[in-house]
Amino acid sequence: MADTINIENAELANAVFFILLAFLSMFLVLVLFFYFSRKKIIQIEVDKKNLEIEHQKELLSSVLITQEEERKRIAQDLHDDISSKLNVVSLNSHLLKTPNLNETEQLEITNNIIELTQKALENSRRIAHDLLPPVLEKFGLHAGIEELVEEFNSTKTVKVSYENSIDFESYPIEKHLHIFRILQELLNNSLRHGKATEISIQFTTFEDRKTCTYIDNGLGFDSSSEENQKGLGMKNIESRINFLGGDFSFTSKPNKGVKMIFNFK
């Protein structure tokens, strides 16, 4: 009788032991799960931030590269269009000092100097205009874009249409240049790479969100390929849109033109 009770008690203790063991094991599994999950979630956050930083660095480096390239271009322009002409002016001025010059020669040299100085002046105006169109500063973005569109239309190779329902006058002046440069880059790309013949630029506003839709009918490219997204021009556009506090979508397929929509605050 006592033996039976002992065996039953042992079985009972056994059952209680396994219940306890199961409780402890599952509790341990849960604790370990939460511990490792927390670590992993933090790691995921860190990775995400690192990726963002990496992206920002890339944008910054593209801004610096563009700046250097722009400097190179300006240096080249100054050298080719102004320095060379001023050199000849200086040479001609020295020629004027030559003794025994007759009147015809003097006149010829003077005319040369006047002509060259005018050309140099014209070139310096053009360079300054390229750097920052005066109309943008004087009359604002709307007029600036109108002038830009007119310039492109005057080449007769492309027809650019421009519609705007945004009042840019109330828009911060420092942001005008960003939008202007984005459009300049897009137009240049459409013409140079896309060989587009028709381009449409449209500015609309909806609930405090300003949107620009840019469409061309050029050659286009595969916008899903990563290689095409890493061009310097696109990076510059992206960083300018970042400055404007907006975002953008870009779609293009070979022979289907490009469509870019970006918004800004």
Partner 1 sequence: MDSTDYLFITSAILCILYIIGFFKFGKTYKIFTIYIIGVLLIDFIASHLWQWFRIYNIFTHHFYDLFQFVMLSYFYATLLQTKKQLFTVYILLILLPIFLLSRYVINPQLFFELSLLEIYLATIPIIIYSTMHLYNNLGQRTEFYYANLGILLYLFGSTFIFLFYELYSMLEVDNPFNKNLSMINITLQYVKFGFFFYQWKLIYFNKDGRYN
Q: Rule CB under 8 A: which of 35-94 touch partner 1? A: 36-37, 40-41, 44
State the Cα–Cα distance between residues 161 and 259, nearest whole angstrom: 14
Minimum Å gap between C-beta 130 and partner 1 is 48
Residue 195: phi, psi to the nearest 5? 50, 40
Minimum Å gap between C-beta 73 and partner 1 is 45
Quick one: DSSP state of residue 98? S
Nearer residue to partner 1 within complex by CB, 14 or 111: 14
Token pair of 2 as six digits:
């006592």
Q: In the chain, how long is the greatest CA-to-CA distance?
A: 149
Q: Rule CB under 8 A: which of 161-180 touch partner 1? A: none
Q: Is 264 exposed, middle or buried (0-12, 13-18, 19+ CB in 10 A)?
A: buried
Nearer residue to partner 1 within complex by CB, 41 or 64: 41
Minimum Å gap between C-beta 3 and partner 1 is 16
Minimum Å gap between C-beta 224 and partner 1 is 15
Nearer residue to partner 1 within complex by CB, 13 or 64: 13
State the Cα–Cα distance between residues 56 and 52, nearest whole angstrom: 6
Q: Is 27 in the site for partner 1 (CB under 8 A)?
A: no
Nearer residue to partner 1 within complex by CB, 28 or 86: 28
Question: If binding means CB under 8 A, how many residues of this protein chain bind partner 1?
Answer: 22
For residue 113, the number of C-alpha atoms closer than 13 Å in the C-beta half-sphere is 14
Minimum Å gap between C-beta 46 and partner 1 is 11
Nearer residue to partner 1 within complex by CB, 23 or 75: 23
- The per-residue DSSP string of 102-150 comes to -HHHHHHHHHHHHHHHHHHHHHHHHHHHHHS-HHHHHHHHHHHHHHHHH
Task: Spell out, one character per residue from 7 to 26, where the chain touches partner 1: x when CB under 8 A holds, - when not.
Answer: -x--xx-xxx-xx-xxx-xx
Quick one: DSSP state of residue 16? H
Interface residues toward partner 1, by CB under 8 A: 8, 11-12, 14-16, 18-19, 21-23, 25-26, 29-30, 32-33, 36-37, 40-41, 44
